[in-house]
Structure 1
């Protein structure tokens, strides 16, 4: 995989994900997400939720436009990077809000409504690689793209060992032709433990492979991590009410579409650690 192919793949994944997210917010889907985010900045009392949705959606659609324009060298990439930073920072700062945490389960690192929020850590490293590759070393790009992968797999994977999370994924797992068999072999909690253990194990192994520069370990663990993020995309097809706008554009869609960013992170890692990039 050369740099051109990698850049094409990243531009596609970023544009597709932000197009769907932008349309989702602009059309007013899942207003609770908007309220939870902008209440942190006390904007929900000043601006109506529909207007906030249009604002958020329009900003994401603007990011799509600038990403594609920069990719085809129609404009400088500065605007795309700035928009990506703003779009990431606005929700990430809300992790400091008390409504993101489950205090009754011990607080940090038990996270509630912020599960989808932490995924925004994946965005800026992709834009830095896409448009500012030469500003950082390959090792720095690998580290910046590995950190969000490890964070989400360790954090959300670790949550699978808790009863509330095990019960929360039942509706997705039991309707999946790829995962429903787990409930014939294990209990609800047992199946969740297997899923969480898989996430945590291969996140650790990927980090070990990168540290040791072991290509075989990077390939095996990287493909395992990739399977996690690709599996979540199948929920858009297999979940109840699949193929509907409510599945694609509302809460489930907003949550799993962000996993496309992690596919991008893994593509960057593979490009720099497994394949020899050629310009």
Structure 2
């Protein structure tokens, strides 16, 4: 995979994900998540739910279009980067709000809202690599793209060891032809522990592989991490009500589509660590 292929893949992932998210929010899906964000900034009283959805959706659709235009060199990349910063930083700053956290569990983000928000950490490293490659070294790009992958796998993987999360994923796991067998072998909590252990283990191993520049370890752990993010995409097909508007462009769709960004992070790591010729 050369840089051209990587750029094409990243552009497709980013434009597709933000286009779908934009349409979803513009149609009014999952308004509570947006209201919580606007409440943090004190704008909830001046805008109704419909306007909040339209504003957020329009911004994300604009980002998708700006990403494509910048990739095709129709515009400079600055507008795409600025929009990406806005789309990412606005929700991320709400992690400072106490209602985003579960203090009794040591500070894990609340299921749904918090988990979805931490995924925005993956966005800016992708745009820096896509449009500002030469501003940073390869090692810096690898580190910036590794951090969000490790963060989400350790964080969400860690939550799998708690009963409330184990029960929360039952409806997704039991309808998946790839994962439902876990409930035949393990209890609900046991299956969740296996999933969480897998996430945490390979998040650590890919970090070790990068640190030691061990290509075999990077390949094995990278493919394992990739399988996590690709598996979540299958939920859009296998979950109850698959292909309905409430799944693809609803809360589940919004949560799952964001995992495409982590596929992009892993593509960047692979490109720079495995495929780019040494100078």
**Paired position in structure 2 for 1:48:** 48
**Paired position in structure 1 for 2:268:** 268
For 1:168-187, what aligned pairs fall within 5 Å after superposition?
A: 168-187=168-187
- Match of 1:39, SS state, is helix
- Match of 2:46, SS state, is coil
- Report if the CA contact (8 A) 1:88-1:121 is conserved: yes
- Match of 1:116, SS state, is helix
With over 3 angstroms needed to count, the CA separation of the structure-2 counterparts of 1:164 and 1:261, relative to structure 1, is same
- Report if the CA contact (8 A) 1:203-1:225 is conserved: yes
- Report if the CA contact (8 A) 2:91-2:117 is conserved: yes
Root-mean-square deviation (CA), in Å?
A: 1.0
- Report if the CA contact (8 A) 2:69-2:75 is conserved: yes
**Paired position in structure 2 for 1:17:** 17
- Report if the CA contact (8 A) 2:102-2:108 is conserved: no
**Paired position in structure 1 for 2:157:** 157
Q: Does 1:94 align with 2:94?
A: yes
Q: Per-residue deviation at 1:143? A: 0.1
Counterparts of 2:109 and 2:264 in 1: how far apart (Å)? 26
Counterparts of 1:277 and 1:20 in 2: how far apart (Å)? 35
Q: Per-residue deviation at 1:268? A: 0.1
Q: Which runs of 5+ in 2 are unaligned?
A: none
Q: Per-residue displacement from partner, 1:59-110 (whole Å, max 9, x unpaired)? A: 001001110000000110000000000100010011111221123x234135
**Paired position in structure 1 for 2:234:** 234
- Match of 1:70, SS state, is helix
Q: Per-residue displacement from partner, 1:16-39 (whole Å, max 9, x unpaired)? A: 000000000111111111111111
**Paired position in structure 1 for 2:107:** 108
- Report if the CA contact (8 A) 2:109-2:115 is conserved: no
Q: Which runs of 5+ in 1 are unaligned?
A: none
Shift >3 Å, 4+ stretches: 109-112
Q: Per-residue displacement from partner, 1:138-194 (whole Å, max 9, x unpaired)? A: 000000000000000000000000000000000000000000000000000000000
Q: Per-residue deviation at 1:277? A: 5.6
Q: Per-residue deviation at 1:242? A: 0.2
- Match of 2:145, SS state, is helix
- Report if the CA contact (8 A) 1:3-1:277 is conserved: no
**Paired position in structure 2 for 1:4:** 4
**Paired position in structure 2 for 1:129:** 129
Query: TM-score, normalization: structure 2?
Result: 0.98
**Paired position in structure 2 for 1:62:** 62
- Report if the CA contact (8 A) 1:110-1:159 is conserved: no
